[in-house]
Amino acid sequence: MSTMNAAMKGMKMLEKRLPHKKKMLEPIKPSRWTIFKGDKVEVINGPETGKQGTIIKVLRAQNRVIIDGVNVRRRTQQPSGSGQPGKIITYPAALHVSNVSLLDPESQEPTRVARRYLESGVKVRVSASSQKILPKPEYRREKIRRAAVSPKDTLPEDVYEVTYEGYVAPSRPSKKDQGPRFVVETGKE
């Protein structure tokens, strides 16, 4: 029995040393998201509780948001070889969506959000406390489309031009077309 107990203790010690896998949460469905880039929010849980800010970025795959001026981290940048000194860089870190709440437009207090439909059939966000509509914020898209054509761009009239006909493999003759494999010589002419 004592050897069995020793083996069990050894197994438990090994289990403690093994690295644990992080549990990945499933992302929230797109229809359930109530927070968008540009919204004014307040942190309702965690060390940053009570701080307000504007959403800079929404990380939907991770169920996280980045808020301007909230949950700020510091990182030191090493001095470069070209003689520039090192410096401290501050940047906002992500917070989980469940720790953040939208602000009511009237009272500027955190509120829950409900989804409702207007008479016209448009889906809107509604503040649970004041029953006021929370409009989606207007923000400029990050991707700026180029207007200028560079020398390496394909012109629109050349796009549909067929410039490659493809490789056509030579067809192999069938066995019937090859004739007999061996020719038998009979000696008669």
| Confidence at residue 189, expressed as pLDDT on a 0 to 100 scale | 54
Model confidence pLDDT, tens digit, residues 4-18 = 677 777 777 777 766
| Confidence at residue 101, expressed as pLDDT on a 0 to 100 scale | 94
Residue 176 has pLDDT above 80, yes or no: no
| Confidence at residue 12, expressed as pLDDT on a 0 to 100 scale | 76
Span 116-137, mean pLDDT?
Answer: 91
| Confidence at residue 39, expressed as pLDDT on a 0 to 100 scale | 92
Which tokens sit at 144?
């700026």
| Confidence at residue 19, expressed as pLDDT on a 0 to 100 scale | 66
Residue 96 has pLDDT above 60, yes or no: yes
| Confidence at residue 5, expressed as pLDDT on a 0 to 100 scale | 77
Distance separating the N- and C-terminal Cα atoms of the chain: 99
Domains (ranges, CATH) in the chain?
A: 25-134 (2.30.30.30)
84 or 107: which leads in pLDDT:
107
**pLDDT confidence tier of residue 58, bands split at 50, 70 and 90:** very high
Residue 63 has pLDDT above 80, yes or no: yes
Taking CA atoms, 188 is separated from 120, 179, 184, 185, in Å, by: 100, 21, 11, 8
| Confidence at residue 73, expressed as pLDDT on a 0 to 100 scale | 93
Most confidently modeled of 7-21, 38-52, 125-139, 147-161? 38-52
| Confidence at residue 161, expressed as pLDDT on a 0 to 100 scale | 86
Q: Please give, one letter per residue, the 3-state secondary structure of 92-124.
A: ECEEEHHHEEEECCCCCCEECEEEEECCCCCEE
Query: What's the mean pLDDT when you consider all of the chain?
Result: 82
| Confidence at residue 178, expressed as pLDDT on a 0 to 100 scale | 60
Span 159-175, mean pLDDT?
Answer: 76
169 or 34: which leads in pLDDT:
34
Q: Which positions ≥6 away from 76 have C-beta within 8 Å?
A: 86, 87, 88, 89
Alpha carbon of residue 189 to chain centroid:
84
Span 36-64, mean pLDDT?
Answer: 92
